[in-house]
């Protein structure tokens, strides 16, 4: 063992030395990653490498943990807390690759490996949290931390101790066994939920062979449908439930029968049939309630929210109600406006959910003289990418250089070196844009590796953005809708949070923050999408190279709050459904569809369609990390509305404001309370009114 004296004095930095098992370094997941940035060697990894790598890395982690537990020395911050933080690095590396690909480039084989590996990972996690000797060492340091600890050290100590307690360490032996059982079953159930959603989504296609049905559609829609059909060996034109395929058809087609069929299919994903998620949902919410009760909480929401900015369910429910009360009548007015418009165009009967997208597009076109078809030629993907990179450069001095030497996991993926204005290497960024059957729906940012500093040596992050944008066709490049441009900016904001991370401990850097704070860096970026000064720098026609006309930009700005109240209430309904499922105080035995209907009833603005439900495909809360946290999107909108107002006041490219946002938010991770960080940037706490005002709602 080596002891290092700190500059502050004689702080014992002795670290336990583990007797590590031998590992097969010929396995590319276990061997050294030799390129300059130590990126995953995707070109050498085979599916057969994963399971042996997991087993070996788990064995290494157990040896590292044994060295901490068996250490005869008195527990100290370094030989216990820091040692725990650093152990498991090899396993973390493998998990970073495997679970990211499980979402972005999955296969039946990967999913089967996940089903076998997941229980082993949960068992390891439980063996850590539920080890009484290890907990006693952590508790001893927590109660007598000694001196010389930095602020980051103290936060790590607090988080570690809380993590053990919230992970069952203080339970009786009998309850620890129950905790093991519940969390193991829970991990399997959430995994199954996501796999069911993917399988159910991929199982439905709508193939059209009659040219008359597609004749009215814009060229880009028909081309995309034709390309989809061709890729499946079908004739004619095909629509799937993947959003880039589904949404254009719903937006431009007048065929109510087919749109009803599509909308219904999307609203019945994993509802009944071979991939029915309703039994899985019941199992998940019941297991979560059991875990919460074991740990002394009345509900799962109470357990989760204790570690969020909101602190408790009462605060979240009051927040949602405040926004609902302020915007519901405006949302009803938004829908009535579309009803009236549809009637003026000869529509008869009740406006149904599958009609809303088409008539909203027609109304927007008539009111603002703005359609997706008008803006898409100026949002060619390469131009948008340049625009996003340009914004990062103007705000934070970042530069992005493609690096073809870095291996990628699919031909669609491109890797970039990210450097700052002084040439410092900040990160590697992977971009993966287009839908495929092996990729789940949606858009997300993730990391193969986060930022940390070990013994003075800094490790920079490997960040990935995965999206599902409209595919290019043989005749047309990928042209994005305005919504897709906003999505790009949103996810890129998450990537900035990762790429600009600074700090010592990986558990505190980058996006490792409270869930109702993590969306601030992403959602603030969406504000630039309607800024004329920004669009004028890069939005050019993909064929002529001409800049987007000023009058078209003006229309985008004018339409910026189109249906803002309607979309707000829609998001509130999702958050209310999340809170309802996780505020249960008894095992759920009722009708899940009826439960959902009752939960979202206060926010209902369109007719209810019997036999449909969002719950069985609500991956954010049942297969992701947003259980009792979906409200965080609206919470962060309040933060970002208030935060962006400072950019509006000082200038949307103001480097002083950007530097402050970087220093106090993007680079800080969880090294301080999020409200403290926000106030340091903004000068005051955020007010809900900022979001309501931004929507431009008037009586």
Instruction: Provide the annotated active-site residues.
Output: 491
Q: Please state the length of the chain.
A: 699
Angle at 94 between CA 89 and CA 95, to 5 degrees: 95
Render the burial of 528-563: b for 16+ CB within 10 Å, e for the rest: bbbbeebbebbbbebeeeebbeeebbebbeebbebb
Secondary structure (3-state) at 287: helix
Q: 424's torsion region: left (phi>0), alpha (psi -120 to 50) or beta?
A: beta
Q: Smallest Cα–Cα separation from 88: which of 47, 128, 36, 140?
A: 128
How far is 131 from 125, CA to CA, in rounded Å?
10
DSSP letter string over 67-87? HHHT--SPP-IIIIIIHHHHT
How far is 16 from 83, CA to CA, in rounded Å?
7
Q: Which residues are paired to 428 by β-bridges?
A: 417, 462
CA dihedral 115, 120, 124, 130 (to 10 degrees): 80
Q: Are 548 and 535 in contact (CB under 8 A)?
A: yes
Q: Smallest Cα–Cα separation from 114: which of 189, 27, 202?
A: 189
Handedness of CA 231, 232, 237, 240 (dihedral sign): negative
Q: Are 66 and 82 in contact (CB under 8 A)?
A: no
How far is 125 from 112, CA to CA, in rounded Å?
21
How far is 301 from 309, CA to CA, in rounded Å?
13
CA distances from 491 to 43, 390, 442, 466, 467 (A): 26, 15, 11, 8, 9
- 482 contacts: CB under 8 Å, gap ≥ 6: 372, 375, 379, 529, 556
Q: Are 21 and 59 in contact (CB under 8 A)?
A: yes
Q: Are 335 and 614 in contact (CB under 8 A)?
A: no
């Amino acid at each position: 063992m080596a002891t290092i004296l700190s500059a502050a004095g004689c702080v014992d930095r002795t670290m336990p030395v583990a007797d590590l098992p031998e590992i097969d370094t010929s396995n590319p997941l276990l061997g050294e990653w030799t390129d300059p940035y130590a990126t995953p060697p995707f070109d050498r990894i085979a599916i057969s490498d994963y399971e042996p790598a997991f087993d070996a890395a788990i064995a290494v982690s157990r040896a590292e943990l044994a060295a901490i537990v068996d250490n005869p020395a008195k527990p100290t911050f370094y030989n216990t807390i820091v040692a725990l933080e650093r152990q498991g690095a090899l396993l973390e590396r493998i998990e970073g690759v495997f679970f990211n690909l499980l979402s972005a480039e999955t296969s039946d084989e990967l999913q089967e490996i996940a089903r076998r590996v997941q229980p082993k990972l949960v068992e390891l996690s439980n063996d850590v949290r539920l080890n009484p000797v290890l907990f006693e060492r952590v508790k001893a340091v927590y109660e007598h931390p000694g001196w010389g600890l930095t602020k980051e050290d103290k936060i790590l100590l607090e988080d570690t101790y809380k993590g053990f307690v919230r992970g069952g360490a203080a339970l009786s032996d009998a309850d620890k066994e129950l905790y093991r059982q519940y969390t193991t079953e829970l991990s399997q159930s959430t995994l199954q939920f996501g796999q069911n959603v993917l399988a159910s989504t991929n199982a439905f296609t709508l193939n059209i062979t009659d040219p008359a049905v597609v004749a009215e559609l814009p060229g880009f829609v028909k081309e995309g449908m034709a390309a989809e059909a061709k890729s499946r060996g079908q004739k004619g034109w095909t629509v799937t439930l993947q959003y880039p395929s589904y949404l254009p058809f719903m937006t431009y087609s007048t065929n109510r029968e087919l749109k009803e069929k599509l909308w219904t299919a999307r609203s019945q994903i994993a509802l009944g049939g071979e991939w029915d998620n309703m039994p899985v949902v019941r199992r998940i919410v019941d297991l979560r309630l059991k875990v919460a009760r074991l740990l002394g909480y009345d509900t799962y929401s109470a357990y989760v929210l204790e570690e969020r900015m909101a602190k408790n369910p009462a605060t979240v429910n009051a927040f949602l109600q405040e926004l609902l009360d302020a915007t519901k009548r405006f949302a009803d007015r938004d829908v009535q406006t579309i009803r009236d418009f549809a009637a003026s165009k000869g529509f008869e009967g009740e406006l149904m959910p599958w009609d809303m997208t088409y008539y909203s597009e027609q109304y927007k076109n008539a009111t603002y003289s703005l359609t997706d078809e008008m803006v898409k030629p100026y949002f060619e993907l390469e131009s948008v990418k340049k625009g996003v990179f340009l914004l990062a450069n103007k705000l934070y001095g970042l530069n992005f250089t493609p690096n073809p030497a870095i291996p990628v996991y699919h031909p669609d993926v491109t890797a970039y070196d990210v450097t700052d204005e002084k040439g410092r290497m900040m990160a590697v960024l992977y971009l993966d844009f287009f839908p495929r059957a092996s990729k789940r729906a949606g858009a997300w940012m993730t990391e193969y590796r986060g930022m940390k500093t070990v013994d003075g040596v800094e490790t920079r992050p490997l960040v990935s953005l995965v999206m599902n944008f409209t595919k290019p066709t043989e005749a047309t490049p990928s042209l994005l809708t305005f919504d897709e441009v906003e999505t790009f900016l949103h996810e890129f904001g998450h990537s900035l949070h990762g790429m600009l991370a600074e700090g010592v401990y990986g558990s505190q850097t980058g996006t490792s923050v409270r869930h109702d704070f993590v969306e601030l860096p992403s959602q603030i970026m969406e504000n630039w999408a309607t800024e004329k000064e920004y669009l004028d720098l890069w939005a050019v026609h993909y064929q002529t190279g001409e800049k987007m006309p000023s009058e078209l930009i003006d229309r985008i700005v004018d339409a910026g709050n189109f249906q803002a109240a309607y979309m707000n209430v829609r998001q509130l309904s999702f958050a209310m459904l999340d809170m309802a499922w996780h505020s249960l105080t008894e095992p759920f035995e009722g009708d899940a569809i009826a439960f959902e209907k009752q939960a979202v009833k206060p926010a209902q603005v369109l007719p209810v369609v019997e036999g449909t439900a969002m719950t069985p495909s609500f991956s954010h809360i049942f297969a992701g990390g947003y259980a009792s946290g979906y409200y965080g999107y609206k919470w962060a909108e309040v933060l970002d509305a208030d935060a962006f107002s400072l950019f509006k006041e000082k200038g949307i490219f103001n480097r002083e404001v950007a530097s402050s946002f970087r220093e106090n938010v993007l680079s800080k991770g969880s090294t301080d309370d999020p409200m403290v960080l926000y106030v340091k940037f903004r000068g005051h706490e955020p007010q809900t009114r900022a979001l309501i005002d931004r929507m431009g709602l008037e009586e």
